Chains A and B, each alone.
Chain A
Amino acid sequence: QVQLVQSGVEVKKPGASVKVSCKASGYTFTNYGISWVRQAPGQGLEWMGWISAYNGNTIYAQRLQGRVTMTTDTSTSTAYMELRSLRSDDTAMYYCARDLNSNWYGGDTFDIWGRGTMVTVSS
């Protein structure tokens, strides 16, 4: 079935980096993109950015520009999100969700979500 499987729990110190993976299965990876969404404890959903699995184009949320990098490996149908210079307020559940493969047209999005990766930033 169509699914996104994310990597496991991460505990990091302030200033470190984290790289979360999201492996797609059950569909043609390059026909879609991946958006990353995070949720701090007890808070709402925050969109972090998007990557096209077709051509690697990215759009990042302005507040994370310079600290986040999203990549894909089409040979393994896996998307990655790396966040650098971690702070305590980066502590959150990080989700990947299926999105469009281009930002030049509209379409149905966020129909499939991963189960989330908990990232805790603490000294």
Chain B
Amino acid sequence: DVVMSQSPLSLPVTLGQPASISCRSSQSLVYSDGNTYLNWFQQRPGQSPRRLIYKVSNRDPGVPDRFSGSGSGTDFTLRISRVEAEDVGVYYCMQGTHWPRTFGQGTKVEIK
């Protein structure tokens, strides 16, 4: 199975400051069609996960543009340009290239 490793696991951030989460995979996530199926999810307290980013860097409809995704191969990053109070929650990366699907451990974002 592809292991997804996130860091840090806890991220205290000051409102208005940037935040960055790293996700590394144990194998390349480039699929045979040339796409890289790496998703980012946000899970606010008491809610279902919500997809923010798909195929590394594509924002889902309604996702604020302060969220951005980047990376390639085995190394990926989710960035929040200016953290707002509503961004508190746990963020997960997930690979959809290989079976079984696998998730990172999650990164808890909280306000300092």
Contact = CB atoms under 8 A, between A and B. Distances in A.
Nearest to B34: A106
Interface string B79-108: 000000000001010101101111111100
Of the candidates A45, A59, A105, the one having the most CB atoms from chain B within 10 angstroms of its own CB is A45
Contact of B51 (A44, A61, A111): A111
Contacts, number: 68
A105 B102 contact: no
Interface in A58-101: 59, 61-62, 95, 97, 99
The main secondary structure of chain B at its interface with chain A is loop
A47 B96 contact: no
B54 A111 contact: yes
Nearest to A46: B103
Given A109-B39, A110-B94, A45 B49 contact: yes
B99 A59 contact: yes
A45 B103 contact: yes
Interface of A: 35, 37, 44-47, 49-50, 59, 61-62, 95, 97, 99, 103, 105-111, 113-116
